A and B are shown apart, each in its own frame.
Chain A
């Protein structure tokens, strides 16, 4: 029977096993799967000439926290002893921009950097989402060519495949096309932003209703409504060009077309579709944007795009593009967990300890995973050795260690 008073008692006090909302433990078999996935992904990034860097977990709210693409309410904040507000880094792009602007940009440009690190985002509402998760990604800084945008996406595809994923899709959009279309029809930045917000909130119903209420010609309304349907294959770019006038809008579409052609050259175009109403952030991206979706995971496993204004915030204006993938979502997409490496278990009794150590060292030198356990420390040998690949006993007086 449930005793309500007792329930009250328990809820008021944290129990030893409790963790803050969104914080997760990683147990051995998941750890192994994740390690292999990360190794494969990191190796691929290295083989494309990207160099890994690490930055601190804590940054100033005023600088990196402010420059980050992550919403302020999603930041974990704390105070240092001088009263400065610090944030646990919510993404890696802003810290890397800080390092690049202050140090590395004086080196070789363009700069190819990679990272694999935990990031932190406060979850206010409920569980089911991680507040700490690993992100793996690259930033290509100081290269404004379409080749850079294409390289980043081609590398993304390559990383996904090396991680063991095949069933995924990348949606491609372009912020400057949206900006130009809206500017041409609506005239002011304020009105454009209103409409862009509907796209950002994925509220197509609200978008349509809003347009119906605007003092626009029916042709212009039709242009804005048709824009919502611009997704799918390369053909939608031909439809898109009809909606904009002049060169600015078509320049953005040409960029999309060029990147798509480059991706064909990389032979990865089959993973890419277009989604022109895609707005993954209200102000962060300045050109090409993309999101990556994998079957079986309810949220995008990764995203990226061109962000030419970020480095400027750190005093060194430079164009940049990159992507970030969520390791936890990639694991979810993989479904199958790796088999753990088998562990060879050597149980010894005191009188044959030296023999056992020699055996263990020999096997370890051959690359085996060997566990050495004093049999006196084990209560139930059967349970203890249950998950071992092999068991060898060095027990008793005989000098012949027996395999079981």
Chain B
């Protein structure tokens, strides 16, 4: 039986995701975190892990080079990849929000929205019947309204601290975000035993955590 390959997101979500897998009884190598190795095999579990940029996890899974992945709902909304979204892992909760400088309104002619999530932002404003222009940025989104690039930003908010520090306020909440277990459609069938086991174990842990 071939190995189950799991794509893990680097950064914020990683630790919580790794802890969840460990709680579910999987022997994760301690060096996964700080290792410079990109791919780590765990023969005892017949599993293989690799770390990817959170935005890229769904891409690896869609193309089938990873059977399973852990990805934020923000990534799934933005990327619209053809993968199974099987479980809400309920970790790394945060939300997507519209923010900007306090007491400002949208420019009436060509309101500009800066974001890392052009697809989500455009769908959201279209849904509200507002015509906006989307500007794609790759980081430090808070800078855009401060320096005058955009009227509003659409970004991920977890504590609101970053917005506050930059003197920005939230105008609207778009959608709540947690991390999800995603699965390639072919792996879902061809490795169904391994994946079913993973899903059952994780479901139990999530249920336990919810009760506490």
A204 interfacial contact with B, CB 8 Å: yes
B152 interfacial contact with A, CB 8 Å: no
* Interface-located stretch among A157-165, A290-298, A388-396: A290-298
Assess whether B84 is in contact with A204, with CB atoms less than 8 Å apart: yes
Instruction: Tell me the complex Cα distance, A26–B185, Å.
Output: 27
Assess whether B85 is in contact with A275, with CB atoms less than 8 Å apart: no
Assess whether B184 is in contact with A298, with CB atoms less than 8 Å apart: yes
* Interface-located stretch among B42-50, B59-67, B162-170: B59-67
- For B196, give the chain A residue with the smallest CB separation: A232
> A171: which B residues are within 8 A, CB to CB?
189
Main secondary structure of the interface of A (DSSP, over half): mixed
> A342: which B residues are within 8 A, CB to CB?
none
Q: Which of A208, A209, A231, A293 contacts B190 (CB 8 A)?
A: A293
Q: Which of B2, B62, B85 contacts A206 (CB 8 A)?
A: B85
Interface centre among A205, A293, A300 (most CB of B within 10 A): A205
> A209: which B residues are within 8 A, CB to CB?
88
Assess whether A299 is in contact with B64, with CB atoms less than 8 Å apart: yes
A128 interfacial contact with B, CB 8 Å: yes
Assess whether A203 is in contact with B186, with CB atoms less than 8 Å apart: no
**Which of A158-204 touch B at CB < 8 Å?**
167, 169, 171, 202-204
Instruction: Tell me the complex Cα distance, A205–B62, Å.
Output: 17
> B88: which A residues are within 8 A, CB to CB?
205, 208-209
Interface centre among A206, A273, A297, A298 (most CB of B within 10 A): A298
1/0 per residue, CB under 8 A from A, across B82-108: the answer is 111111100000000000000000000
Chain A interface bracket (under 10, 10 to 19, 20 to 34, 35 or more): 20 to 34
- For A295, give the chain B residue with the smallest CB separation: B190
Instruction: Tell me the complex Cα distance, A202–B83, Å.
Output: 7
Assess whether B63 is in contact with A128, with CB atoms less than 8 Å apart: yes
Assess whether B190 is in contact with A298, with CB atoms less than 8 Å apart: no
Do A202 and B84 contact each other (CB < 8 Å), given the known contacts A293-B186, A299-B185?
Answer: yes
> A294: which B residues are within 8 A, CB to CB?
186, 190
B180 interfacial contact with A, CB 8 Å: yes
Assess whether B189 is in contact with A169, with CB atoms less than 8 Å apart: yes
Do A205 and B180 contact each other (CB < 8 Å), given the known contacts A275-B189, A299-B185?
Answer: yes
A-B contact pairs, 29 of them (CB 8 A): A128-B63, A169-B190, A202-B82, A202-B83, A202-B85, A202-B185, A203-B85, A204-B85, A204-B87, A205-B86, A205-B88, A205-B180, A206-B85, A209-B88, A231-B192, A232-B192, A273-B189, A275-B189, A293-B185, A293-B189, A293-B190, A294-B186, A295-B2, A298-B65, A298-B186, A299-B64, A299-B82, A300-B185, A300-B186
Query: 9 additional contacts, CB 8 Å, given A202-B185, A204-B85?
Result: A204-B84, A205-B88, A209-B88, A293-B189, A298-B64, A298-B65, A298-B184, A299-B82, A299-B186
Residues of A bordering B, CB below 8 Å: 128, 167, 169, 171, 202-206, 208-209, 231-232, 273, 275, 293-295, 297-300
